Chains A and B, each alone.
Chain A
Amino acid sequence: MGSFIVRRLWHGLLVVFGVSLTVFVVTRLFGDPVSLMLPLSASAEQRLAFAQQIGLDQPLFVQFLRFLGDLATFDFGQSLWQRRPAIEVVFERLPMTLMLIGAGLGTAIVLSIPLGMIAALRPGGLVDRIIVSTGLLGLSMPQFWVGLLLIMVFAVQLRLLPTSGMGTPMHLILPAVTLALTPLARLTMLVRSSMIDELNQQYVRTVKAKGLPFSHILRVHTLRNILISFLTLTGWELISTLAGYTVVVETVFAWPGLGLTAVQAIQRGDLFLMQAIVFVIALLIVLINIVLDIIFKMIDPRIDLN
């Protein structure tokens, strides 16, 4: 197990290196950071001075080594917009995003298991059909639209909840619900279908023949056995939330997390802040995958260490 973790971390490091290389190539070679970050009215001297300040006058090889060194020390340069280290901005906004993801994805995870199981108990029954069609509805509604709809109903019409921003726990409800919807629908469908599959496995018949109650079969056998596919999808949802859904939802609800910050950084041409955000999210994704691999290995003894 120990060597497995070390090997996975090594792979992770390679991925992070690949991401750094991509970021470097895209920003330094395909674009011009100077014209991106300085206003149009900047003079030629100002441009030159700025290029020297951020090291663009050095050979590419030296630039890349320096870039790697900066990454290793989490030094992404100054955010032009915020006028302080970019990484400081990321670490200030990241907890807001994690809080939103925790509330949204947490709700989805907690609700999807019982909903999917109830549906799986009587496939094709009334409850199953209600859950499946509601799930499909949830899947087909885009988040920005759901968010606006929720604001219209609960904030504008009913005046129950604030429209946007953060501060009180009440501020969290609408964005979290919006964020939860798609993962909830997808996870519920997965729990349902894998549960139906699992209950039809022959080993379930063996356990029934042993005279053990149905609740035991669910709790001890099938629920545990669908965990791998459930966690795989959960990990995927977590990653797409981190790298995509939050951008939309935080923008709609003006939630001051990393997603909204990314949009603002792009709008302001704040290259260093964008780099910091991309790098930190890539790092998180790699970490999530490593943790999942370790959990899979613990659940299923058949998964090969190599």
Chain B
Amino acid sequence: MTREILLEVDHLKVDFASRAGLVQAISDVSLTVHKGETLGLVGESGSGKSVSAQAVAGLISSPGTITGGDIRWRGQSLLGRKGERYARSVRGKNIAMIFQDPMTSLNPLMTIGNQLGEGMRYHLGYSHAQARKRAEELLGAVGLSAPARRLDQYPHELSGGMRQRVMIAMAISCEPELLIADEPTTALDVTIQAQILELLASLQQQLGLAIILITHDLGVVAGLCARVAVMYAGRIVETGDVDTIFETPGHPYTQGLLRSTPSLEGTDETLLSIEGMPPSLINPPPGCAFLPRCPIGTDHCRKAPPMQDWNGSVVRCWKAGTNAWLPGVMLEPAAGL
């Protein structure tokens, strides 16, 4: 891999103060995003995928704090006093973000045109007229009909899918190099979901955009991403090429996740799930966080496993590659189970 590195997240740690105690929302997240690539970030609710993304976008605010690690954009830190200033010139311009719920992510009292234009006016120094003209082009580019008319409309006049298109237009308005998409299709109708994902894929082709796609939908990851990072209880437990991980998942959790994804081909399959719940992130036990739910966990797993190479991926497990859900059988794709 010789492509330029855009973003490095280095052993990032984010804590949230709560009444019940300190919630270690993410305790060790490292990611690298290269120019033009799509990285999928998967995991169940509360696994820390959104918090990781928000940390990159600079959206962690009280009661949350970044308590360790580093975030670097093109090799330069975005944290600390000096980093903050650098971050202000990067965020919104080089790094853009879209969110899960397009219904509430737009200001209800401001026209689409003004909301689209404000970023360009601030980052690119556009005049009102320039921003308006460019906004119209962008709305056309994300596939909205009658873009000129949309400029003076308010969010409540658009449907959810249209609003998400506006969000995407807004995100690409300053020609960013990285787009963070935090569950961009979760709140949309299924038919609209596919359209939005297609739009993201085609924009990526046209603009050479790198995308961090946060989702709990493995199907979306398979369709859109080249690399994937699986998160569990605030940590990345497995990362590597999508094809490799889907063929030979190394971590018991990844295996369980793939196993519990229903497929269309299967006819007599029953839905499988992973028993149990993720651990509380207040005072988590020191060892492997998946241990209480892991079918092959042993006392040895009470010692925190390191990230280690296995079959082309990096896996946080002492027993990487063991088929956890069918002991003794060598690994096969999930459909074969």
Q: Which residues of B contact A201 (CB under 8 A)?
A: 104
Closest approach, in angstroms, between the C-beta of A145 and any C-beta of chain B?
40
**B158 CB-CB contact with A under 8 Å:** no
Q: Which residues of B contact A207 (CB under 8 A)?
A: 107, 118
Q: Which residues of B contact A205 (CB under 8 A)?
A: 59, 99, 105
**A267 CB-CB contact with B under 8 Å:** no
B154-A220 in contact (CB<8A): no
Closest to B121 in A: A212
Closest approach, in angstroms, between the C-beta of A196 and any C-beta of chain B?
12
Closest approach, in angstroms, between the C-beta of B228 and any C-beta of chain A?
23
A212-B122 in contact (CB<8A): yes
Closest approach, in angstroms, between the C-beta of B169 and any C-beta of chain A?
12
**A221 CB-CB contact with B under 8 Å:** yes
A212-B118 in contact (CB<8A): yes
**A299 CB-CB contact with B under 8 Å:** yes
In the complex, identify which listed stretch (B90-98, B189-197, B234-242, B329-337) lies at the interface while the others stay far away: B90-98
The answer, among B92, B107, B108, for a CB contact under 8 Å with A211, is: B92
Distance of A212 Cα from B90 Cα, bound (Å): 11
Contact with B along A182-213 (1 / 0, CB 8 A): 00000000000000000001110111111111
Given contacts A205-B99, A208-B58, A212-B118, contact A224 B109 (CB under 8 A): yes
Q: Which residues of B contact A216 (CB under 8 A)?
A: 118, 122
SS class, residues of chain A in contact with chain B: helix
Closest to A300 in B: B109
A225-B59 in contact (CB<8A): no
Closest approach, in angstroms, between the C-beta of B104 and any C-beta of chain A?
4
A203-B119 in contact (CB<8A): no
Closest approach, in angstroms, between the C-beta of B155 and any C-beta of chain A?
9
**A2 CB-CB contact with B under 8 Å:** no
Given contacts A211-B122, A216-B122, contact A206 B167 (CB under 8 A): yes
B109-A210 in contact (CB<8A): no
A202-B104 in contact (CB<8A): yes
A209-B108 in contact (CB<8A): no
The answer, among B101, B156, B170, for a CB contact under 8 Å with A210, is: B170
B108-A220 in contact (CB<8A): no
Interface size on B, residues (CB 8 A): 28
Closest to B91 in A: A211
Q: Which residues of A contact B92 (CB under 8 A)?
A: 209-212
**A83 CB-CB contact with B under 8 Å:** no
**A39 CB-CB contact with B under 8 Å:** no
Closest approach, in angstroms, between the C-beta of A212 and any C-beta of chain B?
6
Closest approach, in angstroms, between the C-beta of A261 and any C-beta of chain B?
42
Q: Which residues of A contact B123 (CB under 8 A)?
A: 211
**A301 CB-CB contact with B under 8 Å:** yes
B105-A211 in contact (CB<8A): no
Closest to B90 in A: A211
Q: Which residues of B contact A225 (CB under 8 A)?
A: 107-109
Contact with A along B103-117 (1 / 0, CB 8 A): 011111110000000
Distance of A205 Cα from B108 Cα, bound (Å): 14
B105-A210 in contact (CB<8A): no
Given contacts A210-B170, A212-B118, A212-B119, contact A202 B99 (CB under 8 A): yes
Contact with A along B56-78 (1 / 0, CB 8 A): 01110000000000000000000
Closest to A212 in B: B122
Given contacts A209-B91, A210-B92, A301-B154, contact A203 B108 (CB under 8 A): yes
- 14 A-B contacts (beta carbon < 8 Å): A202-B101, A202-B104, A202-B105, A203-B104, A206-B107, A209-B97, A211-B89, A211-B91, A212-B92, A212-B119, A220-B110, A224-B110, A302-B154, A302-B156
